Structure 1
């Protein structure tokens, strides 16, 4: 897959993405990568990270009567269900969902904080500039925050449902819970986790649910979103540092996208498939004939279930070991699990 250059720009975009046909974001600048401190949380729930970091807003959230009541009721539910030795995982985790009434109260509280400028215009612009909520950036401030909270809340509910209540994930082959819900070990882990959370010093209304979700991901080894981060300071640092040295006018394309492939056929090594090797041969040939100055290998850990090997990382190792290609010419995306995501992340 070849990335084509935009007219008048040294930055390439994937050939299938027509960025010139859309209005560009008024806030988000892709040339300024988002700085993240807790990769799994920040990449999934950036809004909540911002709420935790803003001291003025932090105080307002803690003092809001409705939000304090939601927190108190949530802790009481969790304490009650974990104190019952017969409670199963589904019952314990199910108690962490916000009720319909609580969701309504949360929306009301956020509306109030926006209108009073406690949840300020500057902070909302910061959220828009993050690029995490591009779908909502044209909404007015009240609707924007409502939409962002709904996005976050849906994500929290999804984690609780999949890893605590047995709901099917979007991709059962690669995202399923790692234990059976009636596994005594898992039951004990969840009970201990919730008990620790309810006895912690965190008092924001969403923090018990957020921490439970993050712990459920951790227990199930579903921290993939945070692995290898920050890429710009690790796997991709040499290629990114060399971008300014590239004479883009010498190339017809800006990069070559190499799609990952997991071991899934007889004869495949445990960490690298034969198909992946063939793709690298083709990509290396294109690079060496001067088609593009960069290769971007995109692929996460997909198959077999819970494999520790990420397609992009293993393919990069093979490429550097077997072809005369410098690391400065190789970018990786070790988080994409589907072809559509390969293209989106590359873009």
Structure 2
């Protein structure tokens, strides 16, 4: 009984996390105090579901649909059966996933509702399409875009269950996996308590009577339990980027050959080392190019990636070195603190360029080590992009020198990837 009470208390703590405050940026990094609201994670990982929940009109429209309500009730029943009968994680995980039959039924219901409701039509066009977060579906009609967005987020929910309950389907398990051993009884009991918390309390049950509930809440709680809240650690925009973003508006772009210099981060590999020699060499090369006046901004890219569960963010360490050691003006360095892989270094930097109105017809200059540029400009890199994120977010990639390459950013970079919850 004491264990169960502790678990319920722990769960309550998870759902009372505070929002990120810009004024706390440096303190939070120094103390590694990242208490993130699950709604912040939901917005980044499951944007469609977040927007649906936020809109009272859409919740009302979807809540009236008998098919969706029946699916909700059946899912709650399935979860109750799992709580009563499952003795292992695989059994519980099966109940927590969106099944193929559920997905087909939801697709049909959403398609029908779209054609019946002007509110839903307006919502999809003005909130979902206009967000550009489903850019790969941009050529689809609004009704098909809605269904595709749902499918992507259902796949994302299933991925979290597979990755963090079953230790399956991770492309990079050495850095992206769960903190806890998936087969331990303590972990299994805690996940069961999460599920029970989400479906048992009458007040929550009444508030959350929504067709996809409670799956994303459980999924986000699983991420929080494992300390895998990287996707929300710098939301909203990090305060140290704001001076640079203000400067963008006054830049005379005709003076520069490149829109920015992208510096690819390199994890130190050891928790006792915050800033690797490799990172320093890359920064030194980029700083030299910046001082030649090739671009008005340096974008330093890299998150909390290496080693596993590190407390050091590559981008922040690079910025600190450039500003404090190299004398680069703070409003000339932009941090991109999420990327965990080379593919997302490029995609995430492009998002910054797009969102803050950089000229997209101007090349980006990428700086790294020789071996890394070999990789970036090689044929295999394109295949890695398709495997990891499903598309290639650039055109005109070309090698310029031993440690430099350039490319043009693609609008497809805005597409979110719900199957990569640490950096969607």
Tell me the TM-score normalized by structure 2: 0.69
TM-superposed deviation, 1:119: 5.2
TM-superposed deviation, 1:37: 9.6
Equivalent in the alignment of 1:5: none
Equivalent in the alignment of 2:191: 190
TM-superposed deviation, 1:269: 5.2
Asked whether the equivalents of residues 71 and 206 of structure 1 are also in contact (C-alpha less than 8 Å), the reply is yes
Q: 1:44-83 alignment to 2 at 5 Å? A: 44-83=45-84
Secondary structure of the corresponding residue to residue 331 of structure 1: strand
- Structure 1: runs of 5 or more not aligned: 1-35
CA distance in 1, matches of 2:114, 2:191: 36
Asked whether the equivalents of residues 57 and 118 of structure 1 are also in contact (C-alpha less than 8 Å), the reply is no
TM-superposed deviation, 1:118: 4.7
Q: 1:255-334 alignment to 2 at 5 Å? A: 255-264=260-269, 270-334=273-337
Residues 274-319 of structure 1, C-alpha deviations (whole Å, 9 max, x = no match): 1001111111111122221110001111111111211111111122
Residues 26-56 of structure 1, C-alpha deviations (whole Å, 9 max, x = no match): xxxxxxxxxx993321121111011112212
Asked whether the equivalents of residues 257 and 294 of structure 2 are also in contact (C-alpha less than 8 Å), the reply is yes
Residues 175-209 of structure 1, C-alpha deviations (whole Å, 9 max, x = no match): 11221122233122201111111122311121211
Residues 132-181 of structure 1, C-alpha deviations (whole Å, 9 max, x = no match): 10111221233222211111111111111111223131211221122112
Equivalent in the alignment of 1:121: 121
Asked whether the equivalents of residues 125 and 142 of structure 2 are also in contact (C-alpha less than 8 Å), the reply is no
TM-superposed deviation, 1:242: 1.8
Equivalent in the alignment of 2:224: 218
Equivalent in the alignment of 1:166: 167
Change (3 A) 1:204 1:323: same
Between the two proteins, the alignment pairs up a number of residues equal to 308
Asked whether the equivalents of residues 333 and 345 of structure 1 are also in contact (C-alpha less than 8 Å), the reply is yes
CA distance in 2, matches of 1:338, 1:104: 33
- Structure 2: runs of 5 or more not aligned: 1-36, 351-424
CA distance in 1, matches of 2:193, 2:341: 35
Equivalent in the alignment of 1:132: 133
TM-superposed deviation, 1:220: 1.3
